[in-house]
Structure 1
Amino acid sequence: AREFAGFGIRVMTIAPGLVETPLFAGLPEPARNALEELTLFPKRLGRPEEYARLVESIFTNPLLNGETIRLDGAIRMQPK
């Protein structure tokens, strides 16, 4: 972000958690429930429109720069 700030370029990243995508469509219900239980709040998978809303917020707020925003409901994946 510092390298490109002089050119008026902002650098932001989003670190998504588990987002409800077609990848999860074939997941067995017990496995899906187990993943949802790992999320602290809300106890569900993220939704694509929530990701899109964050992108819009980043885009419309010019003061955001040089940051990673977690979008994951405070999930902590357990080590294997």
Structure 2
Amino acid sequence: MDHIATVQDAAIAFADWIEPTPAELDAIEREMPVIVADVELLDAQIMTLDRTPTELDARRIRRARRRALAARVALLNQTPGTLPLPGGAA
């Protein structure tokens, strides 16, 4: 009978009340430049996994790393009242 509870949990996972709140969607939107920069960095690193990195690859990774860092700094330099506190504290 354990499989019935699993099926029920899967059905409840898509309930309307589990949708992200507008505040959570706004937080994701603010963090989107950081997310995109991190994905670009991962893409640059993944391209070099199966071969020896060339000088161009090294430059691409350095450039992506700088963009990711700049995106994080820009997020942190926003108005302090707009960023959520760690741990979900308000």
**Fold equivalence (TM over 0.5):** no
Structure possessing the higher relative contact order (Cα contacts under 8 Å, 6 or more residues apart): 1
Larger helix proportion of the pair: 2
- TM score, norm. by length of structure 2: 0.31
Larger strand proportion of the pair: 1
- TM score, norm. by length of structure 1: 0.34
